[in-house]
Structure 1
């Protein structure tokens, strides 16, 4: 399982739709190649940024197969799965058949389960496909350390991604489980919170911004690891916090704002998102465009 482990900056492609509301394969390929050429360390397909909740089974298989083909072994490819348990089992099997290196297991549908139920849910999905798997903590899937310890008895479990943000719980988890898992920051706009997570041993994070400003995300990550406080302060003040303020203006912007950013830098993904998400409003689009233009002027692409 070791070679499927992930590190560094994790890329999460979007689900681009054409005018007929079908997956735009040309745009998806461009998105994945852009992430690869920008040096991202793994590709996570059909996850939150990829509008997992709105994909048909056929679209899911289409996107996973394309990610595996375009990536061609350069970095690990993890596929999102989860939600309805039986549906998750079907998708996990399709991910395996189409060559995915592992799974990112999203929370169960709707139910806020007891720890035993949470354990059974994740165990069922992990054992069904037999792929290296990452537990995703967020919303209604919040783990106690004892539950994670039980799940760690499954050799397929290789990582833990936190999108919940309870730092006291994260201290308990990391100090209880230790290096058995790869710890990943999965908070919305993870660059904002990464300094706090890095102190707990979280060595990688999912970067939505890498879909349109990957070199800035890399600049940030290197500054964080190198202790360059002056550069970090500049990046926060002039790029990260301004984008984050726009992201928080509307629910669902965690996804649709990514597509807006990609459109601004010339990537052909379009702005369309599927309900219940909404497109970025014109004024917020203009605000994002100003921030991106400033970022590109101050921090030119290498």
Structure 2
């Protein structure tokens, strides 16, 4: 367990939940996914979260995923888990994560109910005070904290970060400029590279990257260009890679998850293109489009090319 009260920095790794042809969790493929992320320099592993189909895995599968992550990571980087659902289940998963040696957890939105601020406060409070593990709040969907509510929660030192998947920039400015460096700010939008130029000046110097599961060198080149202010390289990456992939992602609900698996399969990672309902697999036409984008990307931006590329 980590005693450092800060969230992981840089580009965060979010593995998928690989399923075999019979729909069972594929532990070997999961280990390969995590090994790939570590080899590519991702700064942390967030296991059994949104890209890991948290909503579709049972407790036994959840435990297996965390155990595989811990075994592969072996202390090299922090391991965070996803927790959520009803309050009892969320607390149970926090306890399990702690028992399995996780460094912290990401609190996913509660099921269905759009609670009042006091209800959200009580929900997050009950989870956070159940453990000494680091906690990251996830701002999205039906779990949107306003400034006064977030400030109340900051009485708990366990809360080390806020991940924003909402995209309300007025609220983000209010939160970041009032609270400052008490929290680490994480861009958790569905395709974070698309919005990172708006987030970065506000203090969101960390983000979760879906395409790091299959084009991690593009994430690294992109993030370095953003930090260096290399506008030409950023424009090239947007037009050549990021915007075309994002167009596919937006075409179907659930592609934020299944498109990752499709990309991984295209580059040769043994994940397969199997997802669990209500998520749907990538349709053949979109799969071919993604395949072409990846092929063109690897030709124009080979993995061996220096990450200081500027044209």
Q: What is the TM-score with the length of structure 2 in the denominator?
A: 0.96
In the alignment, which of 205, 215, 218 is matched to residue 216 of structure 1? 218
Equivalent position SS for 2:76: coil
In the alignment, which of 105, 120, 123 is matched to residue 121 of structure 1? 123
Matches within 5 A, 1:81-230: 81-230=83-232
How many residue pairs were aligned? 302
**Cα-Cα RMSD:** 0.8
Equivalent position SS for 2:84: strand
In the alignment, which of 267, 270, 275 is matched to residue 268 of structure 1? 270
CA distance in 2, matches of 1:174, 1:95: 29
Correspondence for 1:297: 299
In the alignment, which of 33, 49, 64 is matched to residue 51 of structure 2? 49
CA distance in 2, matches of 1:250, 1:20: 24
Q: Does the 8 Å contact 1:115/1:144 carry over to 2?
A: yes
CA distance in 2, matches of 1:27, 1:52: 17
Equivalent position SS for 1:184: strand
CA distance in 2, matches of 1:65, 1:96: 12
Q: Does the 8 Å contact 1:215/1:301 carry over to 2?
A: yes
| Offset from partner CA, 1:89-130 (integer Å, 9 cap, x none) | 111111111111000001111111111110110111111132
Q: Does the 8 Å contact 1:4/1:76 carry over to 2?
A: no
Equivalent position SS for 2:109: strand
4+ aligned runs moved over 3 Å, structure 1: none
CA distance in 1, matches of 2:159, 2:239: 37
Equivalent position SS for 2:269: coil
Gaps of 5+ in 1: none
CA distance in 1, matches of 2:22, 2:292: 31
Q: Does the 8 Å contact 2:5/2:158 carry over to 1?
A: no
CA distance in 1, matches of 2:213, 2:275: 16
